[in-house]
Structure 1
Amino acid sequence: MNRESPFGVTRDGLPVTRYELATRANIRIALLDFGAVIHEWMVPGASGHIADIVLGYDEVSGYENSTTYFGAVIGRFGNRLAQGRFELNGQTYQLATNNGKNHLHGGEVGFDKRLWQAQWHSESCIEFSLDSADGDQGYPGRLQVTVRYELSDEGELTITYGATSDADTIVNLTQHSYFNLSGQLSQPMTDHLVQIDADYISEVDAGLIPTGQLMSVTGTPFDLREPVLIKDCIHKPHTQLTYGGGFDHNYVLNHANQGLRRVGEVFHPASGRKLIVATDQPGMQFYSGNFLDGTERGKGGLAYPKRSGLCLETQGFPDAPNHPDFPSVVLRAGERYQTQTRFSFVAQMRRSDY
């Protein structure tokens, strides 16, 4: 049976609905049609205790007013674009600048601040759609977007992003959930182990804009090719960590041309919860919640202090339109943009090799 319930109204008086997907694996996910947000993600640990492992809000106003993008679908372009500008077909486009002098996560009113249309495909699959007008936030072309969430009986969440445009444009959609696998959402997640299959990151400048150079992770705190405790690497001296105040970097994922493949994992030893990420995308932004400051009041009135959640944003590379050597994010008129990311959970006790 489809599960729907009211989740309040926007400041414009539009009703927001909460949708629930459930599975036999005791994993339950709640979604909102505002921002296509993942509002709640209930997951069992090794002891069987079920807890919510994503940051968020109890009211629509939290999502409307926040600049943290909790749980939202990001678009048209996830991550940063230098100066809010890019060139396409010989024409320069100026986008909204909402991150200092740069464009971030789709602009001042990105897809995270829109009310999407929802359509059930089955009790375990729902699709959200959005129509973004030509000129929206400065982007060319009318873009029609879909995001499908499908939860398997085993508890795997597959997210399929699709888009078409009536003019050449750029697209880079991603999901911005903040994970804390402990289920203690106001606690630091620095006791999590992270592993990412990437030999390089995109080097950034002090404004977190890619320089165009790829930096080898070998011999640096960014080497996460084997599981590493976040607290053991996040405070190590490195210019790139200083720029981000921690991790806020695009990992250049290995085997980028091999389609949907496992690219990393997060493990919380105390609870036994492990999150495995698979994607067909070339990059993944690992963000360690550096700009959370405790002023945000989330679910149950909890404060979300610095590093209380981490993000794994599968994506095209940041500022890609301004770097010809980066994988293309151009969507040609009449063609279809489609990418897929899968999040899987397992519960296990801590292994001795950690």
Structure 2
Amino acid sequence: MDTIPPELIVPIVESIPEDDPESLRNLALAAWRFTEPCQRQLFYQLSLQPGVGLGWSSSVSYVDAAAHLAAFPRLADYIKCLSVFLQTVLPTRDAAGDEIPALISVLERLQALIEVHILRGDLKELPAGLRAPLNHFIDRLLHANIPHFFLSTLSNTPVDLILRGMASCNIITLRLLDLKIEPTGLEYLETGSPLAEGEDPRLRALQLDSAVEIYPLLLHPRVQQYTEKLRKLGISEEDGNAMNEALSFARLRAPTLEHFSLVCQTEVSNRNLTDAFPSHLPHLRELRVVFWNERLGPLRSGTCRGEEDVDLTDYIRQFIAAMRRDLSSAFTAGLQLVKWNGIQGD
């Protein structure tokens, strides 16, 4: 391995089958023979799960990761992208076992992260021994202004966590979050926020996937300051009411957007889209619009039923007219409109 040219390292690493535990085990045993650039590529990403045999074959258990980093501590600095699955770290498991101390040990070692994913858990029901260390880890990330923060499939997500993330990070992805925000729950925003007065917001890219509860928060007058510098916005929704709120947010941020992606996973009416789409995007450079249309058949069918084809421009004719007014002919020639059958997005 010492003679492998650097430009071949990435293709070699990408060819390693992630779903073959034996391959990964052999790779770990032989890692000491690899050149440092190869090791940096191999250990760039780490995905942690709370146990073995849970269906995430590309993830490593907390205990195994802790043991490996204890044996080879320098590898911690190679890890830049971390995913932490929390789903089964609940009182239903043996919370007094080795897993929670192992996870805490791993989190304390990782000091060079640039992207962190927190996934699949109830942030209110974490074991007592994990709650404070996890909060400390997240606080450290946000204090260091980690570039990319990803929250997915989390219950009881604190509003304050979302706000601090938007104040500290360049890129945030929010997916399937349970916030359960009541109108009165936003009253505290009137007295303070993580973004200091006069501070320039860091957030430049925001991806929202089935994030139904997030839109009342984003549309709150005191929260709009967090997204006023937004350049890239991606929205994917399957709830019609949420899509209406999502488009309201898109209209709010349309003046600064350079990249806009919309995936509509529900049947929508021509009138609703015509009224709701942003009508003026003066800085837009890239647009992606994907529609789910009932006539193409149910999700994951992969087949069309043979009904008469539907022209997507009928759905957003007024929006397209605005695009042609604002954008150059070179751009509009490549405008991407997609009808989605649930299998492919483009």
TM-score of the superposed pair, with normalisation by structure 2: 0.23
- Which structure carries more strand by proportion? 1
TM-score (norm 1): 0.23
Structure of higher CA gyration radius: 2
The structure that is helix-richer by fraction is: 2
